[in-house]
Structure 1
Amino acid sequence: MKENILIDLGGILIDLDFNAMHDAFEALGVREEPAKSDLQKYETGKMSTADFYSLWQTSNWVMKSDINHAWNALLLDIPEERIALLKKLSRKHRLYLVSNTNELHINAIKSQMGIFGWNQFSKLFEKMYFSHEVGNRKPNKAFFESILKDAGLSAEDCSFIDDTKEHVDAAAKLGMDAHYVNLEEETILDLDIAR
């Protein structure tokens, strides 16, 4: 691993359950999900949370809190072993969190961890880069370039870990030491980085 490690959040650190989210929306009477392009607008901060709520067409009248609950049903927890790995890595490497995410998910994770837990987690990273704050998303070249510029890093001095092949390929094209984690077969703990 290089001196600087850029690590994805969803799937790599925090476990996700897409079925739970889909089931929760189905229970609300959502017949079809919003267009991918609209979800990506929310993910890149180009759509407000208020507008995001209005994307969900339901057969029943639902409150914003219902949509929150369904949207955040995706998020499980961060296993302790992964936190332990981050602590170990942070002693020898500079860690950066890089995630395609959104305001509601980050707020839910903060709430789940509590103020103390979130602060302890945040301290493991030099900086956190969230797509809705950066205004761009993986695998776009501009997303990576803006992070490298902001952090004062060169791609050649960075390792990148993600569970989406497209993101890993984009990082590798820029010159990063990129690692794909196939979640059907492994986790970040299976990578040769904990030694």
Structure 2
Amino acid sequence: MIVLDLGGVLVASDQVMTAVAERLGVPRPALEEVYYGPPRQTFDLGGPDLEYWTAVGDELGVSVTPEDAAELTVIDARKWADLTPGSAEFLAALAGHRTAVLSNAPAHLARTVRDAGWSRGFETLVFSAEVGLVKPDPAIYAAADEAYGTTPSECVFFDDRPRNVEAAREHGWEAHVWEGPTAALERLGVRTG
């Protein structure tokens, strides 16, 4: 089973940051400091949208109303569902292979990704908000194995965060830090063209 993370692998987090920073009216570097801060783990575990966006706003000195939070949630989800250039071709090259997703993602993002046409090629999608666990918690890799119907030795995982890769290796998965689609296809021995 080829297991892929979303953010930083199939989806570029920079496009998300730019759109959310523009909506909040703050510089992108300031948003980047708080977007993945402590409130994010609760959000990725299924916490309320309003609670997360209010915490982000508080850190940035920006008032976030319930209406603002709803709009930010839509912007966030829409941008996280847009594949990076080359990702569609990468996924096409994996046709015929068992593929899955393992991503730290809030509930709204999980729903949006499941509705995206490109996600239909995955056999299974596992999101932190749906299993109540976040990477790099070792239990999420076991939960993913259960969802995929695999043993650890059957999974090859790509993630942009070294700590998630290390946790996957400790679980028994073959795991690699994402270096782009070409490098991933080479590691997998998948020929294109």
TM range (shorter): 0.7 to 0.9
- From 161, 165, 179, the equivalent of 2:162 is 165
1:38-53 correspondence to structure 2 within 5 Å: 38-45=39-46, 47-53=47-53
1:187 equivalent in structure 2: 180
1:89-128 correspondence to structure 2 within 5 Å: 89-91=94-96, 93-106=97-110, 118=116, 120-128=117-125
1:87 equivalent in structure 2: 92
Structure with the bigger percentage of helix: 2
Q: Equivalent residue of 2:94, what SS?
A: helix
Greater shift, 145-154 or 53-62, is seen at: 53-62
How many residue pairs get aligned? The number is: 179
- Contact map agreement 1:156 1:176 (CA 8 A) in 2: yes
1:72–1:20 distance in 2 versus 1, CA, 3 Å: farther
More contact order relative to length (CA 8 Å, sep ≥ 6):
1
2:82 equivalent in structure 1: 77
1:53–1:157 distance in 2 versus 1, CA, 3 Å: same
1:11 equivalent in structure 2: 8
Greater shift, 31-40 or 99-108, is seen at: 31-40
Q: Equivalent residue of 1:90, what SS?
A: coil
Distance 2:129 2:139 in 1: 14
- Contact map agreement 1:6 1:159 (CA 8 A) in 2: yes
**Structure 2 segments unaligned to the other structure (5+ residues):** none
- Contact map agreement 1:20 1:74 (CA 8 A) in 2: no
The alignment's TM-score, normalised by the length of structure 1, stands at: 0.75
Distance 2:64 2:141 in 1: 40
Give the RMSD, CA atoms, in angstroms.
Answer: 3.1
The alignment's TM-score, normalised by the length of structure 2, stands at: 0.76
1:27 equivalent in structure 2: 25
**Structure 1 segments unaligned to the other structure (5+ residues):** none
